[in-house]
Amino acid sequence: MSDNSDESTDFCFGDICNAFPENFLFGAATASYQIEGGWNEDGKGPNIWDTLTHKHPELIKDRSSGDIGPDSYHLYREDVRRLKELDVDFYRFSISWSRILPNGDISSLNPAGVKYYSDLIDLLEQEEIQPMVTMFHYDLPQYLQDLGGFTNILIVRYFREYARVLFENYGKRIKHWITFNEPSETCIQGYGSGTQAPLIRLPGVGEYLCAYHILLAHAEVYHLYRNEYFDGYKGKVGITLDSRWLYQKTPGNDLVERGMQFQLGFFANAIFSRDGGWPKLLQEIVDTNSIFEGRLRSRLPAFSPTEIERLRLSADFLGLNYYSANYVKAPEIWNAPKKSHSAFREPSWENDQNLTYFVDPKWPQAKSTWLYMVPEGLRDILLWIRDTYGNPEVIITENGWSDSGELEDDGRIEYLTRHLKAVQEAIQKNCRVTGYTYWSLIDNFEWMMGYTEKFGLYRVDMEDPEKKRIEKKSAIAYKQIIKNRKVTPAKMEDSCTKYSCPTFPEEFMFGTATAAYQVEGGRNEDGRGPCVWDTLIHNQPDVIKDKSSGDVGPDSYHLYREDVRRLKELGVDFYRFSISWSRILPNGDISSLNPAGVKYYSDLIDLLIEEGIEPMITMFHLDLPQYLEDMGGPTNSLFVKYFREYARVLFDNYADRVKLWSTFNEPLMYSTSAYGTGDFAPMKKMHGVAEYLVAYNILLAHAEVYHLYREQYYGKFKGKLGITLSAQGILRKTHGNDLEERGWQFQLGIFANPIFSKEGGWPKIVQETIDENSKKEGRAWSRLPTFTEEQIERIKGTADFFGFNYFTGRFVESGITTNSQTSPLDPSWERDMNLTFAVDDTWKRGKSDWLYLVPEGLRNSLFWIRDTYDNPEVLITENGWSDSGEIEDDDRVECLRVHLRIVQEAIEKGCRVKAYSHWSLIDNFEWMMGYTEKFGLYRVDMEDAEKKRIEKKSAKVYREIIKNRKVM
């Protein structure tokens, strides 16, 4: 097998992993009225939305307004911080005309308003985020509306002078300008149907008059920039249009082209087509309908030849807002003989278009009634623009998904990834798409729907005076797409990577774990005896970082039903917990059997089974009865007998219901830390000798218990028994030496080799090293106890599965010291191993000083186990992340996802990984660190007498993964 046969690769299907072009830009968008607030602060004048929401609050679904909103007028620095987190290339925002010019005219110039946007632009540039400015996004100054707004030709001059103010103040720093956002919405809903501000109902006339004036205003601003500012600033000016894509189920009349010309062509034809002016089809229909209505002139204003030429090609790019698609069909009156169809109905843009829109019921629907997920529509509309308008540069200026504000916004992630894939397809078909903008950065005021529909990558806590921005799952996904410049979707129907879409095998089990001393409490209740941690903490409380203990802790001794309720919520297949030896046998011996302790675990097991959750028991998890420690603990060979009889008690009481048993948890860590360095209870510092003596006795004890089960219980109960080992995953920096193998054997091999290898006994490199070092130290015998042939055979093969705890990884480098005969160094497991473990400064670090996010270390570990021990069945019994206890524990979510993807990869590479258990179910006592580091999927309120369990974001994510059996 070659050295790199299992190296990580990009797994892609089709073109999904193709990188976006180097010059492609990613961004996010907002609009002034929707996020700023500060509606009457620092000289801002009222706009038409201020008027509407104050005079007619009942028209807004939740009677809300943008008076304060997300308060970006005061919190723009917070918004920029989120943009920096996302690492976007640009930020598209709009300027409030009435904040710059309170009455819309240059005579009312407001320095405070000018300064606000200048400060925002400066901060964006400081963070290397390009500002993209929209001049008008629905919020016309009320003063100008009182003059007729966009139905008055004067608006052209007012808009031109407003633009001049913007160019004068910001032109040097802004390279992308957008004159109008979605002018068709302004005209059709604002001046046609009257369903949005300014609520002017002039159907059939107002829409077209408004469109005519907006187009003229746009052209004036474009030429103003080209004539007076372009040479100095070299920026671009465009316009943002919106459109659905349309599909037609039946051939015949070209209903799609008709619909597209009325939607996109309404504004695009005049600017982007070779001929200019209104779309021919649209002009003919409105002119004809006007005649049938008995009018002396068309409802559609006519462009003069000069205006047509001035408008034509007056944009450096086309901004496209795409959200959804529709099917179109002709209404019943389509074939009305010898009469215009519009004669039967009130004149309007909709009735001139004369199409019926409908949807495919299979399309996923968002919170917004009009919004369906149709990503192929984006691809098709881009192709239509390419073919209709000579392939102009296109920037997708809005694209987004609405929901109720969930942090676990998987629908938004699917929408995002599928639409970006559609963009890639369009680019591959030579569409000149140069940027993508997600709508929106934060949840905001969504016009007539108020705050009832949410589009943001970040939630805004509207109840919080500080309007806290809270990251959603979609922000994490978008951040990764931007970082990798690839679409790596969490959920897509037809495009997957091996990391995302494949399901786990049917028999694969998901679980979570705890340990007795860390969660139970009830230290001296109902007959429980003291363990080594009770003794340590009561005698030396200062050694625990926060001077805490497990005396009460999360109190699972009394609250185990609450824990099981959380397990049921998660939907786990199994729960791995440990039994407190001193609760069952207070002094460790069968003579001290404690019925109350036996009953506690029996009740827990019964409840788990009742809820369909399989119990997995760890017999020993670091908490030795103090009575046995007083006899030397596992340094005493009697430990083997005591452990065997303890196991017999467990089998007699629980084997009928428990099918998964693990004898010891992390015996290497226990041996080296508790009896070598003395960093863990019982804090015995006997390094170089005791580590190996403990390992020797634990291996013998494990083997005795395995044979006990196989000989006396297996025939009836058919369970499995294994051991749980741990290691830091080893990563290679250089090839050509045996440092990695040495590291693996001293970490995993020291316990795994006697059990899982064909030859049994200590790993050869471990035995040779310690034997040689012992001789150099002048010892009469090796510090490593010798197995007899009989012991080697008795230990070999004594596990039905390999339990593996993986948390982090390291690089290995040669030696911490020399091992010369003259070296007066203290012997220890670390010095025998003679390796330095190193980290990469770029790795993400947990709250624990030893914990880094290194998922590839898990992959390497699983491959090494597969290749070294003939591919045993592996259960990942612990894997987790520490933090300070945040509810929004995004790093834990990331840890969970990336490691589960690695598990999938390992399974695909032939590793027999059968289960994954997340550490831990709840925040608990983390040994020497007390409660200062938290690993739980649920927070425990330690100040609450009832120790309330509080769900974290990671619990929700894990629940979805388990439910779908996919890494979402």
List active site positions.
182, 398, 666, 878
**Are the C-beta atoms of 830 and 882 separated by less than 8 Å?**
no
What gap in Å lies between CA 531 and CA 509, rounded to an integer? Answer: 32
Whole-angstrom Cα distance, residue 132 to residue 174?
Answer: 7
Q: Cα(707)–Cα(489) distance, rounded to whole angstroms?
A: 48
Q: 601, 605, 604, 585: which is closest to 593 by C-alpha?
A: 585
Alpha helices (runs of H) in 655-732, residue ranges in sequence order = 667-669, 690-712, 714-717
**Residues 6 or more apart from 944 whose CB is under 8 A from it?**
none
Task: Give one word for 736, left, alpha or beta, with left for phi > 0 and alpha for psi -120 to 50.
Answer: left
DSSP-assigned states of every residue in 365-381:
B-SSTT-B--HHHHHHH
Which residues are paired to 949 by β-bridges? 940
- Phi/psi at 614 (5° precision): -80, 130
Residue 394 in tokens = 């296109």
Burial of residue 490 (CB within 10 Å: 0-12, 13-18, 19+) is buried
Q: What is the C-alpha separation between 710 and 720, in angstroms, rounded?
A: 9
Residue type, 239: I
Q: Dihedral of CA 653/658/664/669: which sign?
A: negative
- Residue 331 phi/psi, 5-degree rounding, is -70, 170
H or E, element range at 27: strand 25-29
Alpha carbon distance 875, 907 (integer Å) = 12
β partners of residue 876 = 804, 916
593 vs 821: CA distance, rounded Å: 51
Handedness of CA 583, 586, 588, 593 (dihedral sign): negative
> CB count, 10 Å around CB of 367?
18
Q: Please report, for residues 48, 75, 88, 844, the alpha-carbon distance to residue 120 in angstroms, rounded to integers and kept in the order given.
A: 24, 10, 16, 30
CB 517 within 8 A of CB 549: no
The encoded tokens of residue 189 equal 């809903």
* CA 876 distance to own-chain centroid: 22
Any idea which residue has 């007729």 for tokens?
148
Can you list the positions of beta strands (E) in 399-515? Answer: 433-439, 458-460, 469-471, 509-513
Pick from 334, 383, 375, 353: which is nearest to 279 by CA?
Answer: 353
The pair of structure tokens assigned to 297 is: 């002139």
Q: How many CB atoms lie within 10 A of CB 712?
A: 14
User: What does DSSP say about strands 130-136 and 176-181: parallel, antiparallel, or unpaired?
Assistant: parallel
Whole-number Å distance between alpha carbons of 932 and 926: 8
Place of tokens 């939740």: 62
Report the alpha-carbon distance of residue 473 to residue 716 in Å, rounded: 47
CA distances to 50, 172, 827 from 68, rounded to whole Å, are 11, 31, 68
Reduced to 3 states (helix: H, G, I; strand: E, B; else coil), residue 92 is: strand
**Residue length of the chain:** 968
Q: How far apart (Å, rounded) are the C-alpha atoms in residues 455 and 467?
A: 16
- Among 95, 112, 96, which Cα is nearest to 43's? 112
